Amino acid sequence: MAFRKVIFATAVLAIALSSPSVASKTKNAAVPPSPTHPPSPVYYVDIADLLDVAGPFQTFLNYLQKTNVIEIFQSQANTTKIGITIFVPRDSAFAALKKKNTLAGLITKGHLKSLLLYHAFRKFYSLTELSKLSRRNPVATFAGSKYTLNLTDDNGGIRVKSTWSNAKIVSCVYARAPVAVYEVDKVLLPMQIFSSQAALRTVCGWN
Ligand SMILES: *[C@@H]1O[C@H](CO)[C@@H](O)[C@H](O)[C@H]1NC(C)=O
Ligand SMILES: *[C@@H]1O[C@H](CO)[C@@H](O)[C@H](O)[C@H]1NC(C)=O
């Protein structure tokens, strides 16, 4: 599995970095290491590979790739020690929305990118840290400071709440700094996108 390979490659890298033979080679090299070379992340996780083998998260992954949000997520995971937390809905959660035609209008309005960015925090949070985060509600997402989510404790489980959706974390796909990926049972719907009465009716089934 690609995912296993990632962990294996990371382990090999860690060994290589700590190996004395590599260290002495670097020392004797005529060319000094380039100062512009970015520091290696502690663990490298390929988010697209991860979503591809876990899941089915194909709808979310396809949207990420179509909008290039995958690059934004990957670069956050790559270049910061702060990391990233992603909430990923299954294909069935998107299918439930599609039935009501909620996302069709989104794509033409160009809001899809914000919707995807709304599914992430610009920081790595373990499940324990997430449950503590409820004290700091509302929490800004990757989509911007106005696009917030509320974390709530629900009998030991954690809910990720927006005005129009109350999703639950149903499984931990991956959680090792700097990358956390949690499966949620619903697509998270930000108020900024779904603010019209028409959208409300479609999403919430209001009359
Ligand atoms: C993330 O890091 C990997 C491994 O160093 C690299 O191949 C990839 O291009 C990087 N992606 C981004 C978006 O920075
Ligand atoms: C989120 O939490 C804040 C602070 O407790 C509260 O004012 C707000 O109404 C909550 N929003 C939702 C959608 O639950």
Residues 6 or more apart in contact with residue 204 via CB below 8 angstroms:
164
- 159 Cβ closer than 6 Å to some ligand 2 atom: no
Distance from the Cα of residue 40 to its chain's centroid:
20
Cβ(142)–Cβ(122) under 8 Å?
yes
pLDDT of residue 42: 57
Atom of ligand 1 nearest to the CA of 77: 1
pLDDT of residue 17: 40
Which one of 65, 72, 78, 84 would you pick to mutate in the ligand 1 pocket, going by the greatest count of ligand atoms within 8 A of its CB? 78
Q: What is the CA radius of gyration of the chain?
A: 20
- 105 Cβ closer than 6 Å to some ligand 2 atom: no
pLDDT of residue 21: 38
- Minimum-distance ligand to the CA of 48? 1
Q: Which residues' Cβ are closer than 6 Å to ligand 1?
A: 44, 71, 74-75, 78
Domains within the chain, CATH numbers bracketed? 47-204 (2.30.180.10)
Which one of 134, 135, 137 would you pick to mutate in the ligand 2 pocket, going by the greatest count of ligand atoms within 8 A of its CB? 137
| pLDDT tens by residue, the chain, 207 residues | 444 444 444 443 443 344 333 333 344 445 555 556 555 545 689 999 999 999 899 999 999 999 999 999 999 999 888 999 999 999 999 888 776 666 666 554 557 888 999 999 999 999 999 999 989 999 999 999 999 999 998 888 999 998 888 999 999 999 999 999 999 999 998 877 776 545 545 544 443
pLDDT of residue 37: 58
Continuous H helices in the chain: 2-18, 20-28, 47-53, 58-67, 69-79, 91-99, 102-109, 112-117, 127-132, 197-204
pLDDT of residue 22: 37
